[in-house]
Amino acid sequence: MSDFLEAFMNKVSWCKKQVKGIKLIEPNDNLSEEYYQNAEESLKVLRSIKETKSNIWLATTKYYTEYFAVYSILMKIGIKCEIHDCTIALIEFLEKEKIFDAGISKTLEKDKEIRIDNQYYLKNRPVEINFEKLSEFMISIKETLNGLDNNKITELRRKVDKL
């Protein structure tokens, strides 16, 4: 087993043992749609605050736009996770399963760190906002949501359960 794979498996194993970590729940289309709508709303808020140049709010709103979007897919599959690092580990797994484009987990990790630095440590790090790229990301999430059928959801749940 490669060092990367071993570290990944250790992280996921730790996440599954946490009270607010990775848990299989019933797939929930309604919650999935609500999370997606929250992502869309956050994107609108991000557009409206761009001119303020407030790095705290730009970082926070950008991150939550991305986070709510990916979480909508987790709800569709029936995976609950309240620890952001564990959610990002799940996204990394789902990249390998071709549910997410490669690199989404790295983007989330980077944007999470900028959010934490700006929101909690007041570092005022600059936040790059590419609305075209974010819009394309949202479209890809919607396409993924629409493409997930019961067979694929069952398969993914089985694989997550085995992690």
Give the number of residues written for the chain.
163
What is the reported pLDDT for 43? Answer: 97
pTM: predicted TM-score of the whole model, two decimal places: 0.93
Range of the domain at 52: 23-162
pLDDT one-digit tens code per residue, 65-81: 999 999 999 999 999 99
Task: Indicate whether 11 belongs to any domain.
Answer: no
Q: What is the CATH number of the domain that holds 88?
A: 1.20.120.330
**pLDDT value at 1 more than 60:** no
Give how many domains the chain has, as a whole number: 1
Q: Rounded to whole angstroms, how far apart are CA atoms 65 and 77?
A: 19
Q: What mean pLDDT do residues 134-159 have?
A: 95
Q: How confident is the model at residue 4 (pLDDT cuts 50, 70, 90)?
A: low
CA 83 to chain centre: 11
Contact predicate 55/126, CB 8 Å: yes
